[in-house]
């Protein structure tokens, strides 16, 4: 399993998770988020996380008080996300389907080989495509509002 964060510019973090280990709030706040912040600061050395907003799903490790407190201390604003909404989550409507196609028929003999393959794949996606995902996300949010919150395709 991998934890993947992306922005309108591309992949910000690709972090492998130990096989068979649950992603707890402790793991999320001690491993994932510090690595995310470190990578953000590489791309934004003057401003770091100041003014940034983050969208993550409603997994318990993401909504735990420990995680919310960590985000506040680090200056990251957590955007609200409705419960399990495939139509409103960029990972679900864009990233996972793309990964599924890329990974189909491939056999990686080690976690490192998978990581290298994913890195190369993500780097091959033009920045414009990442940017368009966020435009599509905003359009989907507008559709959701106009549909009264009902599911749509």
pLDDT in tens, 10-25: 999 999 887 778 888 9
Residues in a beta bridge with 15: 3
- In this structure, are residues 82 and 141 in contact, taking their beta carbons and an 8 Å threshold? no
What pLDDT, in 10s, does the model give residues 37-60? 999 999 888 988 888 899 988 888
Q: What is the pTM of this model?
A: 0.84
Determine the Cα–Cα distance for residues 147 and 6; give it in Å rounded to an integer. 28
């Amino acid at each position: 399993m991998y934890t993947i964060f992306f922005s309108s510019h591309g992949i910000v973090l690709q972090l492998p998770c130990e096989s068979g280990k649950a992603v707890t709030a402790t793991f999320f706040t001690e491993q994932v988020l510090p690595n995310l912040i470190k990578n953000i600061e590489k791309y934004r050395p003057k401003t770091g996380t100041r003014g940034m907003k983050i969208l993550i799903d409603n997994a318990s490790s993401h909504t735990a008080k420990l995680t919310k407190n960590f985000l506040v201390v680090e200056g990251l604003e957590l955007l609200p996300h409705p419960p399990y909404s495939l139509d409103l989550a960029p990972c679900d409507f864009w990233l996972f389907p793309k990964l599924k196609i890329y990974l189909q028929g491939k056999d990686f003999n080690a976690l490192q080989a998978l990581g290298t393959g994913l890195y190369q794949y993500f780097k091959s996606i033009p920045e414009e495509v990442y940017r368009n995902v966020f435009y599509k996300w905003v359009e989907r949010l507008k559709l959701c509002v106009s549909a009264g919150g009902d599911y749509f395709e």
